[in-house]
Amino acid sequence: MSDVKTKTTLRVERSGALALVQDAGRLGVRHLGVTQGGAADWVSLGWANWLLGNAHDAPGLEITMGGGLLLKVEQSGTLALCGADLAATLDGEALALGQAFEVTSGQQLKFERPVAGLRAYLAFPGGLDVAPVLGSAASTVRDGLGGLDGEGRALASGDVLTAASNELSLRELPASAQAWQQSLAAREGEALELPLVVGAQIAEFSGDSLYRAFNSEWAVDGRADRMGVRLTGPRLEREGAGMVSEGIPLGAVQVPADGQPIILLNDRQTIGGYPRLGALTPLACAQLGQCVPGTRVRLAAVTPGQARRDHLEVLAGWQS
């Protein structure tokens, strides 16, 4: 006998600002011109999944800015919430971040506005029941891939979200994850440091530009989305000749003609012809994915070895 009816199920009553099905992303397909996609803050999605005993890359819901997203529980069960504080409530009662919680048929889950951070992640037992496209359930709106219907669209009123399983193994966040969750809180008095692995065309920038790049504060511009985030600050200048377009990795820090860096994120184009300072580390990309416009940041050069160690430390936490 099928147990579909026993799996946690929610219906979208109001779609909110932007809610997307996301997982770890669509890897190994950039040679086809298909972008990566995946959770902007992959760390928070991973910990939300971990709370339920899921694989860290199981599909979940990425909720950007809240915007009044309203979900009605159709089938009781358990969910987990990590990432940004979007003033989430369950039947009007505030929901704590970084933990699993029970939902009962008829209850309403609502996300209002950013209090701290930009994107919250809602995990379901076993992940969301979504058919993969090119190996991933990640929604990429521009490419029309992934998500509930395979066409990459954002959630709309009437959509139904169903857990892939009715089995779970509840856990509590370890100290390292609690520290990550707390780091998303609003910062006062200091800029967020974003580690960057230098490379690409960095030697072609003037010495003054490099000094300004790593010794100035930058502000996250309002022109920011899942494709990229523009930083505003001192003008950077490149002294080299024109270049041929080349592959673009996650976190690439491009500098166009106006001298204002653009950091490319999950839904970026696959190739580009602007010079690059290097690329943010995966952890820095996750942090940047939680930055609201106006957030002050600093770029900090790190070695590839340090970036790899930091990345593996997060992955190791999910194996415990």
- Over residues 244-254, the pLDDT tens digits come to 888 999 999 99
What is the set of domains in the chain, with CATH numbers?
4-183 (no CATH), 192-317 (2.40.100.10)
Buried b (16+ CB within 10 A) or exposed e, 47-61: bbbbbbbbebbbbbb
DSSP letter (8 states) at residue 256:
-
Residues 6+ apart with CB under 8 A from 179: none
- pLDDT band for position 176 (50/70/90)? confident
Buried b (16+ CB within 10 A) or exposed e, 250-265: bbbbbbeeeebbbbbb
DSSP 108-162: EEEE---SEEEEEEEE-TTSB----BTTB---BTTTTBBSTTSB-PPP-TT-EEE
DSSP letter (8 states) at residue 189:
S
How confident is the model over 42-80, as pLDDT tens digits?
A: 999 999 999 999 999 999 999 999 999 999 999 999 999
pTM: 0.95
Structure-token pair, residue 155: 């959630």
Residues 104, 72: contact at Cβ < 8 Å?
A: no
E strand map for the chain: 9-14, 18-22, 60-64, 69-75, 77-85, 89-90, 93-94, 99-103, 108-111, 116-123, 160-162, 192-198, 218-224, 228-232, 246-247, 252-254, 262-264, 271-272, 276-280, 296-302
pLDDT recorded at residue 175: 87
Percent of all residues in the chain with a pLDDT value above 70, rounded to a whole number: 97
Query: What is the DSSP pairing of strand 192-198 with strand 296-302?
Result: parallel
Q: Determine the Cα–Cα distance for residues 133 and 139; give it in Å rounded to an integer.
A: 9
Place of tokens 């950013």: 114
Of 180 and 105, more confident: 105
How confident is the model over 121-169, as pLDDT tens digits?
A: 999 999 999 999 999 999 999 999 999 999 999 999 999 999 999 999 9
- For the chain, what's the residue count? 320
Residues 279, 176: contact at Cβ < 8 Å?
A: no
